[in-house]
Chain A
Amino acid sequence: MKTFKGGIHLEYHKELTAGKPIRDAKEPKIALIHLSQGGAICQPLVKAGDLVKVGQKLGDSDKLISAPVHSSVSGKVTAIENAPHPNGTASKAVYIESDRKSEKVEPIMNISVREAGIVGMGGGSFPAHIKLNPTMGHIIDTVILNGAECEPYITCDHALMIEEPLSIIEGLIGILNTVGAKQGIIAVEDNKLDAYKKIKDVIIQTNIKAVLVETKYPEGGEKELVYALLKREVPSGGFPMDIGCIVSNVGTAHAINRSQKTGMPLTERVITVTGAVKNPSNLRVKVGTKIIDLIDDCGGFSGNPKKVILGGPMMGITQHTLETPIAKCTTCVLVLDEKDVKLFEEQSCIRCCRCVDTCPVQLMPNFLADYSQNDMFAKAIDGGAMDCIECGICSYVCPTRRELVHWIKLAKAKKAKK
């Protein structure tokens, strides 16, 4: 079985939603479309009082790394102001009151990936058209579609691979043609054999390879997947394109193909709503739907909800309010019950080496955290803090409950500020 060095096996809890068909979420009364959803923040193209249609561009930017945002409902713009952002901060968003008519804009033939507003749908939210236009001198030989979905609880990519395998593969073929690569690989963790079979069935006539990878966290990390499949390492500070690869999420390939087929930009996505809710589900959701609407859609909370997370339990971000809307790159709304939320006090390191032995990029998280805790950020950077993929394994395995990844992220943030 193909895999990478390090990593850990987790309790997955995917059975809550695995195998459940994707159903359409209810149309939201109010959609909150963030102007910052991948790349530089967009400038609004509408103002309060404007009537907008589904697919209408709400904001765009002239910055290189940016993608426009579009309305997911038809109705009236009521305000453009700060709203809670999935990343935990507040940011400018367009508030739209839906008229429930779902009137669409005219489809655009051969809509470009940029105009369709497509970003990395696996959580990265990096504008997809940038990835598909590697800079001069880069020769891409392999495109990898990431269907590993290694975070616990999340099953949206799994559901998509079961229900839309053809669209995903058509998207991959589109990417292969765009970048002129010969080899196309789709990687699926071996806990999703049903999805692997569906993919296998639709690639019969093509030379695309479907590869099972070991169910191990973080198998779906870009650097880990490239190593698992090709035994190539992304150079420190570089990108997969530096070693001839493009890694893209299965959801992104599906979104690209769908926009090509319909001529419509990206306005909805599949997400998993799971954990302490009455009816955990895989939902097709309009971008901009608030968490509270999705919780209601899933029958409300069950038990005593203590944490609401956008993303998975290893890398997701806790939300202080249920008013936060879904962004294009949101994969999951995870509600954790009181009994699953434990708060620990950090103790001193006993040098057990678990963080060192499991780090998927072979860092020494304990030392990096020591430096960061003592304001020696330059030393943390020298020790490789910038190579950290923030997967959270070090904090997970630490028997003395140190928040290692948090301290490493702090060093990275200090470096970015300089």
Chain B
Amino acid sequence: MSRFSITHAPHIKTKEDSARIMTYTILALLPAAIVGIYLFGKNSIILIASSIIATVLTEYLMLFMRGKKAVPADVLSAVITGLLLAMVITPATPWWMVVIGSIFAISIVKHAFGGLGFNIFNPALAARAFMLASWPMIMTTWPRPFDAVTGATHLALVKSKMLEMSIMNMPGHINTYWQLFIGSRGGSLGETSVIVLLIGAAFLLIKGIIDWRIPASFILTVAVLSALFGSDPIFHVMAGGLILGAFFMATDPVTKPMGRAGRWIFGLGCGAITVIIRLLGGYPEGVCYAILIMNGFTPLIDRYVIDRVYGHGVKNRKNDKRHH
């Protein structure tokens, strides 16, 4: 035996492992979660805590049942799923409901498909869709900030043609933009404050953890399409869960395409489906379903949309010279 270790190259590795990437993601989500707690009060803390505890415990249980050792990345990814799930549901959700959603997310959506890295759909979003289908009334009850009174979200108002008029025709619409921007509005726990979400997103972009192509194509498509449909693009970009979805959910590494061109197509598809659901479909909000539908297309995109490799399709100059 040699006293020296024999390995293949490279002999150095980055310090940025998956546990660190996931920790950064949690840090980037925290400000928006804290704003949600500030706006919607005590039940928000209960929701976030019960969701995270349920996802982590389910993760351990699933890994144990599958005979696998838990690594930090597994647990941290479960924390992200729990945190995200709490952030994409109404603050009026009872705690036991989110626990059931969490168990569904980790056991069915994630581990039934092979665990971390192998799930086809974003676990938090799939769990949200599952909860919306199971308890449609409670899941669409939106409390107003600092208030026990519930009301409709901005998007729901647009659907019923009430807000559309106020945005388009009244000078007071600047006020609506401002509400959306700072987050003083009804909506899911963590989706309301555009500015705080953007700060978290900027952190992830600077750290190189999320890729700009998906949020850029997603948001641009929503803006352009909603304008083409004669709706207000600025409103549609800031309303609902678009900012949270585009920067934190559509960019979920596991469920998005790997290629550069594929990522553009993915964001474009998310944007188009969002606008179609919002303006033509039966629901006021479409971000969640748009991302889930495009998640389903990811394996196909990966297979058929392939970036050009260096030197492919390049002509050999030796042949060129003969023509001259």
Interface positions of A (Cβ within 8 A of B): 5, 10-11, 88, 137-139, 152, 223, 227, 233-238, 242-244, 305-309, 311, 313-321, 336, 340-344, 347-354, 356-357, 360-364, 366-367, 384, 387, 390, 392-393, 395-401, 403, 405-406, 409
Report if B137 contacts A (CB, 8 A).
no
Docked-complex contact B10 and A396, CB < 8 angstroms: yes
Given contacts A321-B2, A361-B310, A384-B312, contact A341 B117 (CB under 8 A): no
Residues B7-21 near A (CB distance < 8 A): 7-14, 16-18, 20-21
The chain B residue with its CB closest to the CB of A334 is B11
CB of A44, distance to nearest CB on chain B (Å): 28
Residues B97-119 near A (CB distance < 8 A): 115-118
The chain A residue with its CB closest to the CB of B18 is A399
Report if B73 contacts A (CB, 8 A).
yes
Interface positions of B (Cβ within 8 A of A): 2, 4-14, 16-18, 20-21, 71, 73, 77, 115-118, 208-209, 211, 253-254, 256, 258-260, 263, 302, 306-312, 314-318, 321-322
Please measure, in the bound complex, the distance between the C-alpha atom of A139 and the C-alpha atom of B12, giving whole angstroms: 40
CB of B153, distance to nearest CB on chain A (Å): 33
Partner of B73, one of A318, A353, A400: A400
Docked-complex contact B18 and A347, CB < 8 angstroms: yes
CB of B226, distance to nearest CB on chain A (Å): 29
Which residues of B are found within 8 Å of A152, using beta-carbon distances?
Answer: 12
CB of B166, distance to nearest CB on chain A (Å): 42
Partner of B10, one of A314, A321, A353: A314
Which residues of A are found within 8 Å of B306, using beta-carbon distances?
Answer: 364
Given contacts A313-B12, A314-B12, contact A308 B4 (CB under 8 A): yes
Please measure, in the bound complex, the distance between the C-alpha atom of A306 and the C-alpha atom of B5, giving whole angstroms: 6
Partner of B314, one of A11, A236, A342: A236
Please measure, in the bound complex, the distance between the C-alpha atom of A387 and the C-alpha atom of B115, giving whole angstroms: 32
The A contact surface, by secondary structure, is loop
Pick 14 A–B contacts, CB within 8 A, sort by A.
Answer: A138-B318, A139-B317, A238-B311, A309-B11, A313-B9, A314-B10, A320-B2, A350-B73, A352-B18, A356-B260, A356-B307, A390-B9, A398-B13, A409-B8
Docked-complex contact B4 and A320, CB < 8 angstroms: yes
Which residues of A are found within 8 Å of B7, using beta-carbon distances?
Answer: 307, 318, 343
Docked-complex contact B315 and A341, CB < 8 angstroms: no
Please measure, in the bound complex, the distance between the C-alpha atom of A357 and the C-alpha atom of B261, giving whole angstroms: 12
Docked-complex contact B10 and A347, CB < 8 angstroms: no
Please measure, in the bound complex, the distance between the C-alpha atom of A393 and the C-alpha atom of B12, giving whole angstroms: 10
Partner of B5, one of A315, A321, A341, A405: A341
Which residues of B are found within 8 Å of A235, using beta-carbon distances?
Answer: 311, 314-316
Given contacts A348-B116, A350-B253, A362-B307, contact A406 B8 (CB under 8 A): yes
Which residues of B are found within 8 Å of A393, using beta-carbon distances?
Answer: 10
The chain B residue with its CB closest to the CB of A366 is B258
Docked-complex contact B321 and A139, CB < 8 angstroms: yes
CB of B183, distance to nearest CB on chain A (Å): 29
Please measure, in the bound complex, the distance between the C-alpha atom of A398 and the C-alpha atom of B73, giving whole angstroms: 13
CB of B206, distance to nearest CB on chain A (Å): 15
- Which 10 A/B pairs are nearest by Cβ-Cβ distance? A392-B10, A361-B310, A320-B2, A236-B311, A399-B18, A348-B117, A235-B314, A352-B253, A384-B309, A314-B10
Which residues of A are found within 8 Å of B118, using beta-carbon distances?
Answer: 348
The chain B residue with its CB closest to the CB of A384 is B309
Partner of A348, one of B16, B115, B312: B115
CB of A332, distance to nearest CB on chain B (Å): 12
The chain A residue with its CB closest to the CB of B19 is A399
Which residues of B are found within 8 Å of A364, using beta-carbon distances?
Answer: 258-259, 306-307
Please measure, in the bound complex, the distance between the C-alpha atom of A139 and the C-alpha atom of B317, giving whole angstroms: 8
CB of B215, distance to nearest CB on chain A (Å): 14
Partner of B9, one of A317, A363, A366: A317
Partner of B318, one of A137, A308, A321: A137
Of listed A233, A340, A352, A403, residue having the most chain B CB within 10 A: A352
Which residues of A are found within 8 Å of B322, using beta-carbon distances?
Answer: 137
Which residues of B are found within 8 Å of A233, using beta-carbon distances?
Answer: 310-311, 314
The chain A residue with its CB closest to the CB of B6 is A318
CB of A296, distance to nearest CB on chain B (Å): 17
Which residues of A are found within 8 Å of B71, using beta-carbon distances?
Answer: 347
Partner of A356, one of B9, B14, B208, B259: B259
